[in-house]
Structure 1
Amino acid sequence: MNNKMSQLLPGLVLSAAVTLAAWLLELVEVGIFGRAWLESLVLAILLGSLIRTCMPVPARFEPGIHFSAKILLEVAVVLLGASVSAAAILERGLPLLGGIALSVVLAIGFSYGVGKLLRLPHRMALLIACGNSICGNSAIAAVAPVIDADGKDVAAAIAFTAVLGVVVVLLLPVLDHAFGMTTLQYGVFAGMTVYAVPQVLAAAAPVSQASLQVGTVVKLVRVLMLGPVVLLLSLFGRRGDRQGEQRRAPTLSHLVPWFIAGFLGLMALRSFDLLPHALLAPARVASGWLTSMSMAALGLGVDARSVLRAGGKVSLVVVVSLIGLGAISWSLITLLAIR
């Protein structure tokens, strides 16, 4: 245990230091401008990415960075469930849930079609389609072994979606002001378009707590679509299999990650008023701090130069697919008259 902690400590300390710097910069913004134009969550991502891009991060920091970006974030998502009531989603009922599922299917089809139109290989087109439409790197990682994707294709898809995901986090609040979205509309739009759960937190938190809660729930409904998609791909998504290979069945962790189950469990307890009220505030504070620290670690894992290495076709497919996802998401909001 001590040896494991000693391996994690350098990366944990670095992530915490970046988080503290982001928090101090937010205070400086408030002192100068009277408000924070960039919240500490976003600043943590930017600072981390700046460090990774401008200087080599020694290998001894990597275990702690990875732990912060993955485990701490997953714990933060679970704790966030204690502050989320299902009422905002249940008010809309099955139409919204069905609309989210349909939007994911349409987005996968659109993105795959764009990839094939630009003559990307079948497996690469599928990786980008699932990553763009469901949950970014997590979907790519889950789909890759099922369709026997090449390691280089996986690296290219992950590299670009990681960088573009940060760009989306920065641009969404601008779109919110440009289109005058309500807090509910923005929460649904963020949950539908942002790649990863942590990025939804970073994009929605600066707008409002209501947007954060709605966006998180919508996003997790999208993530739950990963199970059926992986299952279908394991049955029908393989083409040109190499001889002698065996199909790899999706595991339970692919279908329902533990932190999603934990989030939904706490959300259910909160919705039925079964959580002690004394625990709600500490859970919210802990979730906020862990989220900020995981944002810093997420930034420390993003080298902006990886965009140049991803390739022109991949870049174009991902960007066009994201625009298509945005159009599908706004159509859903309009059709369901979400206000």
Structure 2
Amino acid sequence: MLQQNDMAMAVTSTATKKWMNPQFYLGILFTLIIAAAGTAAANLPVLNHIGGLLTAILIAVLYRNIFSYPEDLRTGIQFSAQKLLRFAIVLYGFKLNIDIVLHQGGLLLVHDTLSIIVAIATTMLLAKFFKADMNLSLLLGIGTGVCGAAAIAAISPIVKAEDEDTAIGAGIIALMGTLFAITYALIRPFLPLTPTQFGIWSGISLHEIAHVAAAAAPAGTNALAMGLLAKLGRVFLLIPLSLILSLWMRRKDRDESAKSAPFPWFLVGFLATSIVGTYFPIPKNILFDISNVIGPFLLAAAMVGLGLNVHLSNLRSRALRPLLAMFIASIILSAFSYFTLWF
């Protein structure tokens, strides 16, 4: 009993020291500054095609590999990479209008479910064939199938992914999704698709919400509306997918006689914000600021914390094969979802 009390006091003392340490807050501020720099730099030519999230990650990775890791700021950086990340995912729930998905996206949910299954299964099979890193490949498969970097950020704590894998995965998804969105926009005039069909195709196959909007918007308002509706269905399916993975990890941990995986409570927050944003009368300007400004900015700051753990020397050995698997899987997903439009 005394030993347990001593351990509890030690944990409390450590937590108190962290909150009283100025370096802790400087570490958080450090990630926020880089996130702000990435967001601002994303308005520049070339960088405006890849977005603020990827730009912030790139700045963090470059800082880490040029100036080394700022050890004095470690506790604050880790807080951003872990706690701030979960909070950003909770705020991401405001993007999901559950009522619209359930009442207008019934058939689209079938397409969305097939997209997720195809993306994850194909990525993992190709990763196994290429002998790629399976953990990073799983993150990329989920990001491809569900909702890009946000899905990777949400799933990473559940599958106990390394910070470096999470940052690399988010960066790859953002870059690859941008490439595919540009390609979709370029080939649209040559496809025998109506604007509505093109919007649905974009929504059930492209990686991020921003990528869907970028590809579908030139096709008109109907295309954009259907694309975003289809994409929201995939975001909605993040909830059951996360619970399935959580149960799988718990069973896996029991089989390996390890500590059981914790329940992803932040997903309860994600569901709660989705319900609040859907059914409660929140002013549209406030809802817009939370879901399109504050949430993405905090997610960028969290990704900065993760990006500061990335070693460029590891990219060639660990990231190229998963990237190849994910790239081919994305092509297969695009082709598969295109042909399902006709059924």
Give the alignment's TM-score, normalised by structure 1: 0.67
| CA displacement 1:246-290 (0-9 Å, x = unmatched) | 26655422xxx41x3223222223323443557435534433442
Provide the rounded CA distance (Å) in 2 between the counterparts of 1:202 and 1:42. Answer: 12
Provide the rounded CA distance (Å) in 1 between the counterparts of 2:250 and 2:39. Answer: 44
SS of the counterpart of 2:298?
helix
Distance 1:205 1:71, change over 3 A: farther
Provide the rounded CA distance (Å) in 2 between the counterparts of 1:7 and 1:142. Answer: 28
Structure number with the bigger relative contact order (C-alpha 8 A, sep ≥ 6) is 1
| CA displacement 1:221-241 (0-9 Å, x = unmatched) | 246313224535765x79xx8
1:21 is aligned to 37
Map 1:172-183 to 2 at 5 A: 172-180=180-188
Query: Of residues 294, 297, 305 in structure 1, which corresponds to 2:302?
Result: 294
Query: Of residues 258, 270, 288 in structure 2, which corresponds to 1:263?
Result: 270
* Unmatched segments (≥5 aa) in structure 1: 146-153, 194-199
Query: Of residues 70, 87, 110 in structure 2, which corresponds to 1:58?
Result: 70
Is it true that 1:252 corresponds to 2:263 in the alignment? yes
Displacement of 1:56? 0.4
1:81 is aligned to 93
**Matched residue type, 1:74:** R
1:99 is aligned to 111
Displacement of 1:14? 1.7
Displacement of 1:218? 1.9
What is the aligned-residue identity percentage?
Answer: 19
Map 1:1-339 to 2 at 5 A: 1=16, 3-4=18-19, 6-26=22-42, 29=45, 36-90=48-102, 92-118=104-130, 125=134, 127-128=135-136, 130-134=138-142, 135-136=151-152, 139=155, 142-143=158-159, 161=169, 164-180=172-188, 185-190=201-206, 193=207, 200=208, 215=231, 218-222=234-238, 224-232=240-248, 245-246=256-257, 249-253=260-264, 257-258=265-266, 260-275=267-282, 279-284=286-291, 285-310=293-318, 315-328=320-333, 331-332=336-337, 334-336=339-341
CA RMSD of aligned residues (A): 4.2
Q: Which moved more, 1:158-167 or 1:322-331?
A: 158-167
Q: Which moved more, 1:174-183 or 1:9-18?
A: 174-183
Provide the rounded CA distance (Å) in 1 between the counterparts of 2:56 and 2:168. Answer: 19
Displacement of 1:97? 2.6
Displacement of 1:307? 0.9
* Unmatched segments (≥5 aa) in structure 2: 1-15, 143-150, 189-194, 218-223
Aligned residue pairs, count: 301
Q: Higher helix share goes to which structure?
A: 2
8 Å contact kept, 1:188–1:215: yes
Provide the rounded CA distance (Å) in 2 between the counterparts of 1:85 and 1:229. Answer: 23
